[in-house]
Amino acid sequence: MNKAFLSLLFLSFLTSEVFSQQKIMEKIELGFSGGLAVPIGHFKAISVAPSLEPVPPGSKPRRFQGFLKNEGGQAELGYSLGLNLTYHATQSLFVSFNYLQTQHSIDTRPHQIFYDTNFKSDLDLNGNVFEVPGRLESDSYRANLFYMGLGYRLLFNRLEVRFAGLVGINNLEFPFYSWTYQISETTAIPLRPFPIDGPVPTDLREFTYGFEAKLAYPLSQKLNLNLAATYLRSDHPHEYWTNTLAASIGYKIQDEIRYRNLAVQFGISFRFEEKNKKDQIQ
């Protein structure tokens, strides 16, 4: 409902008046940006418990069932790259079409520490201690966001301040991972997402929304230097099986990645219309 409402709200602003000008190119601004991708909230939080084997109340789990993210994405500080096309409908209103790519590595250390502390050592039938070293490896979060912005621009001398609301699609690549258990000196078995009654997810495509604040400073008649803070959020529910090669251990995982990212970027934008001319027109 929220998604539909937000989308309709955006479209309602895109009246024919906005695009009624003949010289469209003169109102277009093309920009590139890059910077940090700062995970926020759930996306950054650390949570080991959901990854543990589910057990009846009162009993202790004996292993990990996977690497779940629904209570903590464990995303680390990453980077972002952006591309945007802005159409200045009026002196104040603008519409932007944006692409943002973010990448965050995933912090596996909390799980690794938990494993080493709780599951690594065991006693054999003779009471002798033996160890099964385990290692968690994970791909990074790679998000590809396509979104549209509807914004308002304020001018303070030469400095522009822009605010925009954003809606779009976040095509988040499923971060594949694997636990590897060294069950003997010669043999290791992996536990990893595995297709059992359906494919392992690859692209987790979901609705995203957020807002952006941008400072634009003109370097020349056509070039702007931008500093932008872009917050985007999206929820990516998904399910898959984890399976352990050569062991009868498998779990059906229902998980959700709650993407919450603040992209702090510097950028350059190119305006096809000269700034002083534009101001005369206005």
Partner 1 sequence: MKRLFFSCFLLLFGIQVNGQSCGDNGYWKIGSQFGTQRLSSNCGDFICHGFAAAYWENGFTSGSSLNPTTPGTVNVTAPYTFSGGFTDQYYFQNSNKYIQVCNQSLSNVDVITQVFGSNPGSHSLVRDKFTSISPKFISKYGTESPVIGHKFDSTLYELNNASKTEPDKYYVYVANLKTTEYLPKDQIKTISLLSKSGVTYSWSIVGQTGIVSFTSPSNGASISIKGDSFGTTQVKVTISGCSGIPPKEQIITIIVPAVTISGTYTTSNSTNHTLGNGNQVTSGNVSTYLNSSPGVSNYVWQRYQGNLSFWAHTNQMHFTMQSGNYVSFRIYARSSGNDTLAVRNVTYYNYGSFSLYPNPSSSTISIKSDYEGIMDMELIPLSTISKMHTFKVSSDEKVELKELPRGEYLIVVRIGEDIVLETRLLKNE
Site residues for partner 1 per CB under 8 A: 62-63, 119, 122-125, 128, 130, 132, 134, 181, 183-187, 189, 191, 194, 196-197, 241, 243-250
Burial readout 205-224 (b: 16 or more C-beta within 10 A, e: otherwise) = ebbbbbebebebeeeeeeeb
Closer to partner 1 by CB, 109 or 252: give it. 252
* Residue 12 in tokens: 């309602």
CB of 236 to partner 1, least distance (A): 23
CB of 61 to partner 1, least distance (A): 9
Closer to partner 1 by CB, 97 or 176: give it. 176
**Cα 67 from Cα 112, distance rounded (Å):** 11
CB of 144 to partner 1, least distance (A): 30
**Cα 247 from Cα 243, distance rounded (Å):** 8
Surface-to-core class of residue 115, CB atoms within 10 Å of its CB (0-12 exposed, 13-18 middle, 19+ buried): buried
Closer to partner 1 by CB, 23 or 252: give it. 252
**Cα 90 from Cα 29, distance rounded (Å):** 13
**Residue holding tokens 């976040």?**
170
CB of 70 to partner 1, least distance (A): 21
Closer to partner 1 by CB, 62 or 277: give it. 62
Closer to partner 1 by CB, 58 or 124: give it. 124
Q: Which one-letter DSSP state was computed for residue 44?
A: T
CB of 252 to partner 1, least distance (A): 8
